[in-house]
């Protein structure tokens, strides 16, 4: 009988167990039907959406192609700049422009950090403002001083550069005597590869040149150089150089110049023209090529030799402003080429 009671009670217990999940399932379905979450529509500004899309595109491009190794944060290769064109769509054009601006911003930040380190580690106030690491850009006619000033019309036919205001502070703090001279030098591992010069011009392999200042209104991380100075150092726009105020350049006593064209030597008063045009140069660097303008024509001269005063020693740089300088000419470059052709 006990077994019969168990056999009789098992179906009812099993039925209860089988029905319980069904009831729970129905209750869950009812709860699901009654709970309907409300969705809120969020609107975001288009600028944020665009920036987010640019970020995604940058990440995807960096993962799809391996990054190009950069030897120095100061190297800015203009060949790596992306062309900005709306033919491929406005999104890609904006992305290219943003990437170009990012590369330039990284360069400027590297220069700014280096200059901040110069200021922080300088032993005194004067040393903190006498040298800077700067980005090079070409000097153009927008820097031409007003009419009546000495350097007016001689932006490219002089040795004057546009410098940041810190160098004017250096002159005042050091009480430097005129002419104020500044050395521009290439830096190993920092300055980019030497530029390919135009046809007909040879790279003298110079590592530094010397010149004066046309003004002190350049941005804090930039220096603007005349074209002949950039060619002398084989610089490209946005190369990085070191600039410092120097006071140890000896006065010059003699200079030997080689004109590129013999036409200049045929001018009746070419010696007087030379003396007049040299006044627009504060100093000369041996191995450089300097330009003069006369009667609407531009003449170029190689600085073959420099002698200091009073001993007449051979020097790489010499002051020519406020100096009794003896200048002489060697055989013109075009005459030398004609002689080589005959041989």
Question: DSSP letters along 283-341, please?
Answer: EEETT-EEEEEETTEEEEEEEEEEEETTT--B-SEEE-TTS--EEEE---HHHHHHHHH
Q: What is the DSSP letter of 251?
A: B
Query: 111-115, 178-182, 228-232, 268-272: which has the minimum mean pLDDT?
Result: 268-272
When comparing pLDDT for 19 and 126, which is higher?
Answer: 126
Query: 263-267, 293-297, 339-343: which has the minimum mean pLDDT?
Result: 339-343
Q: What is the mean pLDDT of the chain?
A: 81
The answer, yes or no, to whether residue 27 has pLDDT greater than 50, is no
Residue 195, Cβ density class (10 Å: 0-12 exposed, 13-18 middle, ≥19 buried): middle
Give whichever of 92-101, 178-187, 194-203 has the largest mean pLDDT: 178-187
On whether the CB atoms of residues 284 and 318 are closer than 8 A, the answer is: yes
**Mean pLDDT score, 18-22:** 47
The answer, yes or no, to whether residue 113 has pLDDT greater than 90, is yes
Token pair listed for 11: 């179906």
pLDDT of residue 322: 87
Q: Where does the chain have alpha helices with state H?
A: 2-34, 46-64, 90-121, 166-174, 227-232, 270-278, 333-342
**Mean pLDDT score, 109-135:** 96
The answer, yes or no, to whether residue 224 has pLDDT greater than 90, is yes
pLDDT band at residue 64 using 50, 70 and 90 as cut-offs = very low
φ and ψ at residue 153, rounded to 5 degrees: 80, 5
Token pair listed for 334: 């075009």
Task: Tell me the per-residue pLDDT of 299-316, one tens digit each, with 9 for 90 and over.
Answer: 999 999 999 998 899 999
**Mean pLDDT score, 223-233:** 97
Scanning the structure block, which residue is given the tokens 């005459």?
Answer: 335
SS3 at position 21? helix
Task: Tell me the per-residue pLDDT of 184-197, one tens digit each, with 9 for 90 and over.
Answer: 999 999 999 999 98
């Amino acid at each position: 009988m006990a077994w019969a009671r168990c056999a009789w009670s098992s179906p009812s217990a099993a039925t209860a167990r089988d029905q319980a999940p069904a009831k729970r399932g129905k209750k869950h379905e009812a709860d699901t039907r009654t709970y309907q979450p409300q969705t809120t529509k969020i609107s975001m500004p288009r600028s944020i959406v665009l920036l987010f899309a640019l970020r995604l595109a940058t990440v995807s491009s960096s993962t799809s192609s391996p990054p190009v190794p950069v030897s120095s944060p100061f190297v800015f290769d203009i060949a790596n700049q992306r062309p900005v064109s709306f033919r491929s769509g406005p999104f890609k054009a904006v992305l290219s422009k943003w990437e170009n601006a990012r590369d330039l911003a990284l360069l400027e930040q590297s220069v700014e950090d280096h200059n901040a380190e110069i200021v922080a580690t300088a032993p005194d106030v004067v040393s903190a403002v006498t040298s800077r690491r700067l980005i090079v850009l070409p000097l153009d006619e927008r820097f031409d001083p007003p009419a009546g000033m000495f350097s007016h019309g001689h932006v490219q036919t002089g040795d004057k550069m546009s410098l940041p205001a810190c160098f004017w502070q250096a002159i005042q703090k050091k009480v430097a005597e005129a002419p104020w001279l500044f050395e521009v030098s290439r830096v190993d591992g920092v300055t980019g590869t030497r530029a390919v010069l135009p046809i007909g011009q040879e790279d003298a392999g110079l590592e530094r040149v010397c010149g004066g200042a046309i003004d002190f209104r350049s941005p804090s991380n930039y220096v603007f150089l005349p074209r002949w100075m950039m060619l002398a150092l084989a610089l490209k726009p946005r190369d990085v150089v070191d600039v410092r105020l120097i006071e140890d350049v000896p006065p010059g006593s003699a200079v030997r110049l080689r004109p590129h064209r013999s036409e200049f030597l045929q001018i009746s008063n070419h010696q007087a023209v030379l003396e007049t045009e040299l006044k627009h140069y504060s100093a000369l660097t041996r191995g450089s090529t300097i330009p003069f303008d006369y009667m609407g024509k531009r003449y170029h001269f190689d600085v073959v030799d420099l002698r200091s005063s009073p001993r007449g020693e051979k020097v790489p740089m010499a002051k020519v402003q406020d100096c009794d300088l003896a200048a002489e000419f060697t055989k013109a470059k075009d005459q030398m080429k004609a002689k080589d052709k005959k041989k």
